Amino acid sequence: MSNIQILVGSTLGGAEYVAEAIQPLLEEAGFDSELHFDPDLNSLSLQQDQIWLICISTHGAGDYPENFKPFVEQLQQVNAPLNDVRYGVVGIGDSNYDTYCEASKNIDFLLEDMGAVRLGERFDIDVAEHPIPEDHVLEWIPMWIEDLNDIIED
Ligand X SMILES: Cc1cc2nc3c(=O)[nH]c(=O)nc-3n(C[C@H](O)[C@H](O)[C@H](O)COP(=O)(O)O)c2cc1C
Binding stretches for ligand X (CB under 6 A):
10-15, 57-62, 65, 92-94, 97, 99-102, 127
For residues 82 and 107, which CB has a smaller minimum distance to ligand X in the complex?
107
For residues 62 and 120, which CB has a smaller minimum distance to ligand X in the complex?
62
In the chain, which ranges are continuous DSSP H helix?
14-28, 69-76, 102-113, 133-153
Q: Are 84 and 92 in contact (CB under 8 A)?
A: no
Per-position DSSP letters for 55-93, written without gaps between them:
EEE-BTTTBPPGGGHHHHHHHHT--S--TTEEEEEEEEE
In the complex, the smallest distance separating the C-beta of residue 136 from ligand X, rounded to whole angstroms, is 11
Q: Which amino acid is at 31?
A: F
In the complex, the smallest distance separating the C-beta of residue 117 from ligand X, rounded to whole angstroms, is 25
In the complex, the smallest distance separating the C-beta of residue 97 from ligand X, rounded to whole angstroms, is 4
For residues 81 and 131, which CB has a smaller minimum distance to ligand X in the complex?
131
In the complex, the smallest distance separating the C-beta of residue 24 from ligand X, rounded to whole angstroms, is 19
Q: Are 131 and 121 in contact (CB under 8 A)?
A: no
For residues 141 and 148, which CB has a smaller minimum distance to ligand X in the complex?
141
